[in-house]
Amino acid sequence: MWEQIRANRVRSIILVILMGALLVLIGWIIGMVFAGNAIAGLVIALIVWGFMSLIAYFQGDSILLGVAGAKKIQPSDHPRLYNVVEEMKIASGLEKMPDVYIIDDPALNAFATGRDVNHASVAITSGLLQKLNRDELQGVIGHEISHIKNRDVLLMSMCGVLLGTIVILSFYASRVMMFGAIAGGGGNRRSSRNSNGGGGGAIIIFIIAILLMILAPIFAQLIYFAISRKREYLADASSALYTRYPEGLASALEKLAQSSIPVKSATQATAPMYIANPFRNKNVSVNDWTSTHPPIQERIRILRAMGGGAAYSNYDQAYRTIKNTNSGIISDNTAAAVGAVGLRAAVAEGPVETAAPVDDKMTRTREVNDMMYRMNDYKTIQCECGAKLKVPPSMQGGVIKCPRCGRTHQA
């Protein structure tokens, strides 16, 4: 597996270098246009990138979780979820249990973040937790755990910072240039500076600079998407291996594809970190080439074409068949090292005779709703008629009337 991780890192480093080249080019343009000194622009660009990279490395996970509105939970808050995360942690051989977060959002999605395996977190939406059965939840958690195991989370955080730096520099530089062109002051200074035969050259540089400021963030975004897409396939393959049940993730992705609810807190910089495109809806194709992820229907078909095994070799063969290509995504040595891995049976959903928790839609909905009420500091009052009254913090301290029987309670 380490060979596969190294191969992905090499490809990712090449793509990151391309993003870095765009940043250097923007810095050069900024220096030439605004200061008449390309070195000064390069220094400014690198300082901004360095400052943001330090923040991303040490506080990036906290920032991403904060932006997503994620709240950390404990095992007692949702035992089923914690149990699934622990199962996937053991199956993957991860050294440390990641922290578990919940995002109060009806959308169906999840992501992993952190700078290394000892500082990692998994966050899922309340909508996903409510809609997925245990097999499907295992598939999603296995996918996210594999991003941590494969060291994807730090790379994606740093790429997001690099993209953000390019966007910020491009945005402000282009606005300043446009304002200067309209006002005429900046253009006059540049013209006087280049009056010895450089007037025409200055105009050309100005036009090139404007085009670069517009196109650079687009190119950087496409490179960022390319990094994300390549790693999603390996994460799907790893999830199938950890769970030994590819249909679990395939069924979960199918439910994600059918949902048209976008993630409210998602941004262009954070979108590639989710298991599926958080912006998709029924009016926009999930197979669009500008999507942050591989076509979700293609991912589903690959998982369901794995045949009689859950090994990397099964996924790689399915990938080649569905993509109609001779090039796989998993090296022969990695596939051989894992060997053959058989499939397991699905977990029965609904009431069972054993002591295992019941996994049906009604139970899942009740579990998630109760957890969200507790996380948002609601107070529960058990009425004598059997009704459970959920009292928000703003109404606590007053008198509450039961809508079923009319009894009053002190909140």
Pairing of strands 119-125, 388-391: unpaired
Is the same domain home to 251 and 221? no
Is the same domain home to 52 and 185? yes
The per-residue pLDDT string of the chain (411 residues; one tens digit each, 9 = 90 and over) reads 555 566 656 766 776 677 777 778 888 877 877 777 778 888 888 887 788 778 878 888 888 899 899 999 999 999 999 999 999 999 999 999 999 999 999 999 999 998 888 999 999 999 999 999 999 999 999 999 999 998 888 777 777 777 777 777 777 777 776 666 555 544 444 444 444 445 555 576 667 667 766 777 777 777 666 666 778 998 999 999 999 999 999 999 999 999 989 999 887 778 888 999 888 654 444 444 456 678 899 999 999 999 889 999 999 999 999 999 998 888 888 888 888 999 998 887 654 444 445 567 888 888 898 898 888 888 888 899 988 888 888 888 888 889 889 899 987
Beta strands in 258-407 (DSSP E): 379-382, 388-391, 399-401
Task: Count CA atoms closer than 13 A to 237's CA, side-chain side.
Answer: 26
Could you tell me if residue 343 is inside a domain?
A: no
Which domain does 273 fall in, by range?
A: 76-145+231-338
* Chain mean position to CA 298: 19
Q: Report how far residue 118's alpha carbon sits from residue 114's, in angstroms, rounded to the nearest whole number.
A: 8
Q: Report how far residue 113's alpha carbon sits from residue 121's, in angstroms, rounded to the nearest whole number.
A: 5
Could you tell me if residue 370 is inside a domain?
A: no
Answer yes or no: are the C-beta atoms of 155 and 227 closer than 8 Å: yes
Is the same domain home to 276 and 328? yes
CATH of the domain at 93: 3.30.2010.10
Q: Which is catalytic among the residues 95, 136, 144, 232?
A: 144
Last residue of a domain, one of 199, 226, 253: 226
Q: Report how far residue 148's alpha carbon sits from residue 117's, in angstroms, rounded to the nearest whole number.
A: 6
Is the same domain home to 217 and 286? no
Helix (H) or strand (E) holding 268, with range, is: none
Is the same domain home to 253 and 132? yes
Q: Is 144 a catalytic residue?
A: yes
DSSP state of 392: -
Is the same domain home to 280 and 334? yes
Last residue of a domain, one of 226, 248, 281: 226
DSSP state of 178: H
Is the same domain home to 46 and 158? yes
How many structural domains comprise the chain?
A: 3
